[in-house]
Amino acid sequence: MPTPFPARHIYRLPLAGGGVLELGRRVLVMGILNVTPDSFADSRPLTTPAAIDRALAMQADGADLIDIGGESTRPGADPVDAAAELARVMPVLEGLRGRLQIPVSIDTYKAVVAEAALDAGAQIVNDISGLAYDPALAPVVARRGASIVLMHTRGRSKDMYAQAKYGDVVREVTEELRSSIAAAMDAGVPRTAIVVDPGIGFAKRSAHSYGVLARLPEISQALDRPVLVGPSRKLFLKTAATDADPRERDWATAAAVTAAVLGGAHIVRVHAVREMVQVVRAAEEIYQANA
C-alpha cells in the first residue's frame, strides 16, 4: 500500500467586508505583488499602473489571491515608515477596487496600514511578524472582521539570522506560532480567521527551511489551522539554484511548492503565478491519486 499524504482539512476563512474563502478542497495560489523599490525578487520597482496590470495578469494566470506589500522584509532590509508604505500600496489597492474577482491580502505588520488597506478593499492581513511588531494590529483585524496570516520569524530583518538557532526547528516554530495564535485570539480574532505560515527563510538557515518543508504535516496537525507556505525564489533555494539572481530560482521554487502541496499546505505564495499554477495542479493530481 502507498504511504498516504497527510490529510488536508477543510476550513472556511472569513473575509473582511463579508464572504468566505474555502481552504482545503485544493491548494490555492497566492500571487506576490511587491510595490517596493528594493524587492529581492524583481528587477525593477513597479509603477502604480504596472502594479495594477500585474495584479490583473496574475488573476488571468490563475491566482486565487493577490498579496500586496509596500515594505521589503527580506533579511537585511531597512524598515519603512507607515507613510511611505501607504504611499506605495494605497494607489494600487484603489486602482484594483472593483477590477479583481479574487481576494486581496495586505502584506503588512502595521495596524495603520492594515486599517487603510481594509478600507480600500483588502480582506486579509498577512503579518510577517506573527503579531510581534505592532500590538495594535490584532485589534484592527478583530474589529474589521478580517482574517490574518501569522508568520513565524524571530527578531527583525537586520538580526533574524543571528536568532536562527534551534534545537528542534519544527517543534520550536510550532510552539511560537501557537503563542501568536493565542495573542490573536486574546485580542478578539476568532480562531477560524487565522492562517499560519512557518516562515520559510525567515530567521532560518537553509537546513532549517528544508526541515520545515519536510515536516510540514507536523505543524499543520499540531495547530489545526490552515497553512500558507512561501518558498518562492528565497535564498535557501540557492543550495540547488546557484545563480545569484533570485529570478533564476523558479525551478527550485517549483520543487519546494510541490513539497508544500504534498505536505498538506492550503496556500502557496509565489512570484511566477502562471508557472506555479501548473506545478500546483500537477502536484494536486499526485496528492489526490494517493488520497
Summarised one tens digit per residue, pLDDT across range 41-86 is 565 678 999 999 999 999 999 999 999 999 987 777 788 999 999 9
Q: What letter represents residue 71's amino acid?
A: E
The pLDDT assigned to 191 comes to: 98
- Residues contacting residue 270 through CB under 8 Å, at least 6 positions apart: 29, 30, 31, 32, 230, 232, 253, 257, 276
Question: In this structure, what C-alpha cell is assigned to residue 48?
Answer: 502604480
The CA-based angle 248-85-143, given to 5 degrees, is 115
Beta strands (DSSP E) in the chain are: 11-14, 20-23, 28-34, 65-69, 104-107, 124-127, 147-151, 194-197, 228-229, 267-270
Mean pLDDT is lowest, of 2-11, 88-97, 107-116, 206-215, for 2-11
- Residues contacting residue 109 through CB under 8 Å, at least 6 positions apart: 127, 128, 129, 133, 134, 137
pLDDT-above-70 percentage for the chain:
96
The pLDDT assigned to 245 comes to: 82
Q: Which of 8, 154, 234, 249 is catalytic?
A: 234
- Reply yes or no on whether the pLDDT at 1 is more than 60: no
Helix axis angle for 82-96 and 48-60, nearest 10°, is 50
The pLDDT assigned to 209 comes to: 97
| In the block, residue with C-alpha cell 494536486 | 284
- Residues contacting residue 220 through CB under 8 Å, at least 6 positions apart: 6, 9, 227, 263, 264, 265
Q: How far apart are CA 141 and CA 150, in angstroms?
A: 12
Residue-wise pLDDT tens digits, 250-288: 999 999 999 999 999 999 999 999 999 999 999 999 999
Active site residue 234: yes
The pLDDT assigned to 160 comes to: 85
The pLDDT assigned to 162 comes to: 87
The pLDDT assigned to 42 comes to: 60
- Reply yes or no on whether the pLDDT at 220 is more than 60: yes
Q: Which of 54, 74, 215, 269 is catalytic?
A: 269
Give the confidence band of 141 by pLDDT, cuts at 50, 70, 90: very high
Are the C-beta atoms of 107 and 69 separated by less than 8 Å?
A: yes
Q: Return the closest-CA partner of residue 80 out of 90, 72, 68.
A: 72
Q: How far apart are CA 40 and CA 38, in angstroms?
A: 6
The pLDDT assigned to 2 comes to: 59
Collapsing DSSP states into helix, strand and coil, what is residue 189?
coil
Domains along the sequence of the chain with CATH: 16-290 (3.20.20.20)
